[in-house]
Structure 1
Amino acid sequence: MSQGLRFAVAFSIGLGGAIPATAFAGDVYMAANGSDANDGGSAQRPVATLAAAVQVAAARSARTGEDMTVQIAPGIYRGQTLALDDKRMRGRLTLAGTSSKADSYPAFYGNGTGTFLRYDGSAGRDTGLTVRNLRIVDYATAITLNGNRNDAHAFNRGTTISGNIFARIGTDTTKGLGKSTAAVRLVNSHDNVIENNWFKTIRNYPVTACAGLHAMYVAHGSSGNRIVGNTIEDFCGSAVKLRDSSDNNVIDSNTFRTTDRTTGIEEWFCDLGKSEECTKKSGECPSTGNLARGNRFDGIDQLRRVNIRGTRKPRPWCDAAIYDRPRISASETTD
C-alpha cells in the first residue's frame, strides 16, 4: 500500500470524532488517472485500483457499519484483480461504473489469465456485494463466488451481478494455460441475482478445449439463484450449466445466441457410481426444481436448448425424495 493510502486508512480508524466528513460519505471514488496515494473521498481525489478502493471502503465500514459504494469512472483499467471474503466488510459493498451507457462503462482488461473478482465466503450469510455497469475483458474467469462444496451449510448468498459486459472470457491452452470453466461461477452460493448482463465470446482456444467453458456455472449446492434477462452470445460450452444439487434456480427471459453445436441450459452431475474421475468424495446428486421460461434460442436446435444429462437411477448417497421432482421444468421458450 502507498504511504498516502496507509495514512488515509490509519486516519479514518484512529481519530474518532476528529475524522473529516468525507471519510464516512459512503462513497469511494476511483479513476484511471487516479492515485492510490489519494484518499478516494471525492471525484477530485480518486484512487486508481480496486484493491485500494476496497481497502478504504473496508476501513470505513469497519468503523461505522455503513454501506459503501466504489464509484468507478469511465476509462481503461489494466491488469487488476480483486479478492474479497466474508470478513472484510460490516456493511454492503457495491462496485459500480458511474455511467449507465454501455459504451462508456469502465473497462477492466486482463491478459487472458486469472480471475477478475473472487469472493470466498462459507459462513452462511449474505455477501453484501453488488457488481454493476462494468466491462470485464480478457480474463480466464470474470467472477467466482465460492462457498464450500463439501459442506451444504458452508455457503454464501445474496450477490447481485447486474448490467455488466463480460467479453473474451476464457484461456488459450496453446500457451500452456489450463482450461477455464466459467465466466461467472457459483459454488455453494445461494439467492444471487445475475441479470441484464451481456456475455460475448466465452471461449477457450483451440476449439477442442472449448466445450467445458460455461457462461454461467451454477454448481455444488448453488440454489435459489435468479438468472434473468441476460444475453449470451458466441459460446461453445453450455451457456448455463447446473451441477450437483443446485436446486430451485430460475432461468428467465435470457437470449442464447451461437453458431456452435452446443447447449443453452444443461443439468449434469458427476456420477460416482459410473466414473472414477469424480472428485467429490461424498458423491454428487442431480439438481431439481429448476425453472427455465421465456428464454430465446438463436442458432440452437430444439434438442439442445434444455438438456438433462446423467442417470435418472437413484443413487444411495442422494436423498431419495429428489427423484420425484423434475430436474428442469422448461416452458415458453422462443425462437
Structure 2
Amino acid sequence: MRSLRHLFAVMVLGLSTVVVCTSPAAAEDVQASSAQGVQTIYLNAAGDDARDGATPATAVRSLARVQQLVAAGPLDMDVEVRIHAGTYVAQGIVWQTYRPGHTISFMPDDYEYGEGIGGIAARPVFQNRRASGSGRYITGPWFYACPGNPGQPLAEGGTSGLRFYYLQVEYYASSAMSLDGSAGSCGGGYQRSSAPGLPSARGLDGNTVFGMLLTKIGNAYTGGSCDNPDFLRCGYGGIVLTESSDNRIENNHFVDLRNSENSYIHAIYVTHKSSRNRFVGNRVTGVSSEPIKVRDGSNFNTFEQNVFGANGFLRSSPSMVHYREEVNEASDECASYHVRFANNDLGTYLVGSTANLPAWLITPAGATYKGAAVCPALPAGEVRLITANNTY
C-alpha cells in the first residue's frame, strides 16, 4: 500500500491550508473552435510551399509557409492547421503571427474536438534537422512564440490563443516549446517588461498544449553541452514559459528530457512573471533535473494530478526534488506565491538510489520570503507554496 506524504504540508507556521478539489484531468479535450468561420490550412510532409494550403490536395510542406498564410489571411477568423501524419524534419520556427480574439490551432488532420488519441491514425512528428555542413542538430526549440513584429497584431504582447493537440516533438536542443512575452523576446534575451514583482506588461498568454508527446529534448540527444561555446546545446524544459500566463497544459507526455550534465532541464519551466498557468494530468518520465521549476514572480500556478515516473539523476548540490521554486536575489528576482503542488503521483530516483525523490524545495527558504530587497512583500495571508495529498 502506498504511503501518504505531505498531507496538507505547507511552508508556513501558524497558517491553515485551504484545499480546493478539482476533477480528474480530462482524457479528452472538448474546447471547440469559437469562430463563426475557420480558415483551414493543410500541412503535409509531401506538400509544396508554392501552394495555398486550402485543401488536402494543395497542402503546404512547412510551418514557415503556414505562418505566411496565417499572416495573409483574414484577422476575424480562427485558424486550424490540419497536419497529415508523417515526419517533418526542420529547424524550429519563430512564431510571431496572431489573430487577436481568435485562436490558431495545430492538430492532426483527422482530429476531431473532444476525441482522444484513439481518434487519430498517428501523431504527426516534428523532428529537428541537422546542419548540412557539420551534421549537428540545430540549436533552439521547435516552436518559439514571441510578440508580433512592430505594426503587427500583438506587437506589445497579449492573448495569443495558440493551441496544440496530439503532435510529437523530438530532438530539439533547448526545448520543445517556448512561449516568451518578455520585452527582450524574439532573440533579444530576457528583459523584464515591468518592475520587479509586478505582473508582466506584455505577456504572451492564453495558450493550450493538450495531448502532446515531447521526447528526446536536451543535449543528451542533440550533442554538445551547456558550457561549450563551440558546440553550445543546452536543454531548459519541455515547455518554457517566460512572461506567459493563463496557459492550459494538460494530458501531455514528457518522456526523456535530458542533458548530459544531468542538470537544468525540466518538464516545465515557469519563469519571470508567468502566472495562473495550469499544469494538470500530465505524465513525466525520464527528466534529468527537477520535473517542475518555478522562478521570479510567477504566482497562482497550479500543478495537480500529474503522474511522475522515474525522474532525476543524483546530484549532490542542490538536492533533486519534483518541484523547485528558486529566487536569484542578485538579479532582483522576487519570490512566487500561491503556487499549488497537490494530488500528484510522485516517482523515484532514476539511477543510483532506492530513495524516493523529495517532493519540493524552495530556495532561499521561508514561506513568506519576498525575494530581493526591491521586491514587494507577499500579499497578506499568502505563502509561497501550498502542497497537499502528494503520494508515492
Same fold (TM over 0.5): yes
Offset from partner CA, 1:172-208 (integer Å, 9 cap, x none): 3358223221221001111001111101100012xxx
Equivalent residue for 1:307?
361
State the alpha-carbon separation in 2 of the partners of residues 258 and 97 from structure 1. 30
Relative distance call for 1:306 and 1:103 in structure 2 (3 A) is: farther
Aligned length: 297
What one-letter code is carried by the residue in structure 2 that aligns with 1:150?
Answer: R
What one-letter code is carried by the residue in structure 2 that aligns with 1:42?
Answer: T
Is 1:150 the counterpart of 2:150 in the alignment? no
Is 1:295 the counterpart of 2:344 in the alignment? yes
Equivalent residue for 2:322?
264
Equivalent residue for 1:70?
81
Q: Structure 1 runs of 4+ off > 4 angstroms?
A: 300-303
State the secondary structure of the residue aligned to 1:318.
Answer: coil
What one-letter code is carried by the residue in structure 1 that aligns with 2:259?
Answer: N
What one-letter code is carried by the residue in structure 2 that aligns with 1:142?
Answer: A
Which aligned pairs between 1:112-127 and structure 2 lie closer than 5 A? 112=137, 113-121=139-147, 123-127=156-160
Is the CA contact (8 Å cut-off) linking 1:135 and 1:165 kept in structure 2? yes
Equivalent residue for 1:16?
none
TM-score w.r.t. the length of structure 2 is 0.71
- After TM superposition, give the deviation of residue 76 of structure 1 in Å: 0.7
Is the CA contact (8 Å cut-off) linking 2:248 and 2:279 kept in structure 1? yes
Q: Runs of 5+ in structure 2 lacking a partner?
A: 1-36, 111-116, 130-136, 148-154, 183-190, 194-199, 315-319, 350-354
Offset from partner CA, 1:8-55 (integer Å, 9 cap, x none): xxxxxxxxxxxxxxxx85211111111112211111211111111222
State the secondary structure of the residue aligned to 2:60.
Answer: coil
Q: Which has the higher contact order (CA 8 A, sep 6+)?
A: 2
Which aligned pairs between 1:45-124 and structure 2 lie closer than 5 A? 45-62=58-75, 65-85=76-96, 88-90=98-100, 91-99=102-110, 100-101=117-118, 104-111=122-129, 112=137, 113-121=139-147, 123-124=156-157
- After TM superposition, give the deviation of residue 304 of structure 1 in Å: 1.8
Larger strand fraction of residues: 1
Which aligned pairs between 1:2-81 and structure 2 lie closer than 5 A? 26-62=39-75, 65-81=76-92
What one-letter code is carried by the residue in structure 2 that aligns with 1:290?
Answer: V
Relative distance call for 1:309 and 1:250 in structure 2 (3 A) is: same
Counterpart selection for 2:264 from 208, 212, 234? 212
Q: What's the RMSD between the two structures over aligned residues?
A: 2.1
Counterpart selection for 1:138 from 152, 171, 177? 171
Relative distance call for 1:258 and 1:93 in structure 2 (3 A) is: same
What one-letter code is carried by the residue in structure 2 that aligns with 1:237?
Answer: S
Equivalent residue for 1:226?
278
Q: Runs of 5+ in structure 1 lacking a partner?
A: 1-23, 273-279
What one-letter code is carried by the residue in structure 2 that aligns with 1:288?
Answer: Y
State the alpha-carbon separation in 2 of the partners of residues 44 and 134 from structure 1. 21
What one-letter code is carried by the residue in structure 2 that aligns with 1:66?
Answer: M
State the alpha-carbon separation in 1 of the partners of residues 224 and 249 from structure 2. 28
State the alpha-carbon separation in 2 of the partners of residues 53 and 198 from structure 1. 26
Q: Percent identity?
A: 27
What one-letter code is carried by the residue in structure 1 that aligns with 2:324?
Answer: E
State the alpha-carbon separation in 2 of the partners of residues 69 and 176 from structure 1. 37
Counterpart selection for 2:383 from 313, 326, 331? 326
State the secondary structure of the residue aligned to 1:232.
Answer: strand
State the alpha-carbon separation in 1 of the partners of residues 38 and 345 from structure 2. 43
- After TM superposition, give the deviation of residue 248 of structure 1 in Å: 0.4
Larger mean Cα displacement after TM superposition, 135-144 or 308-317? 308-317
- After TM superposition, give the deviation of residue 268 of structure 1 in Å: 0.8
Is the CA contact (8 Å cut-off) linking 1:193 and 1:225 kept in structure 2? yes
TM-score w.r.t. the length of structure 1 is 0.83
